[in-house]
Amino acid sequence: MQTTREGGCSCGAVRFRLQGEPNRVGVCHCTTCRKETGSVFMAFAVWPKSQFTVTGETRPWENRHFCPKCGSRLFEVSDRDPEVEIKLGALDAGPSDLAPTYETWIKRRESWLAPVPNTGQFAENRPTHRE
């Protein structure tokens, strides 16, 4: 049986559905992700674009899509990339079964925040090869 996950924005104007399991799950500490989330890091998961559907209008900023009504940050997708990056906080159900496998931009991780155990650690971006 294939897993289906759903998510969307705070006001309900944008909804999305994901089929199957993600290719990878990560945490990013870069400045862009900090500003995008208003937090000290962002948790995300990456699915093949073919397993992703979205309804409702979004607005992009550098391929990062958000709801123009409530401002919720939802996903990152581009025409050139075969994958979509979903912000884990946009999922309807808590993502407790989606444990990170790597952390990026750890050179910007707060000193009081411990590394995620048993994950790949990258000073900046992770290598671009597909896992």
Distance CA 2, CA 16 (A): 16
Q: What tens digit of pLDDT does each residue of 56-67 get?
A: 999 999 999 999
Token pair belonging to 108: 């910007």
Q: What CATH architecture does domain 4-121 belong to?
A: Alpha-Beta Complex (3.90)
- The ranges assigned to domains in the chain are 4-121
Q: What is the dihedral of CA 24, 89, 38, 45, to 10 degrees?
A: 10
Q: What is the pLDDT of residues 67-115, one digit of tens each?
A: 999 999 999 999 999 999 999 999 999 999 999 999 999 999 999 999 9
Distances in Å between the Cα of 81 and the Cα atoms of 9, 68, 85, 107, 131 are: 23, 23, 10, 26, 14
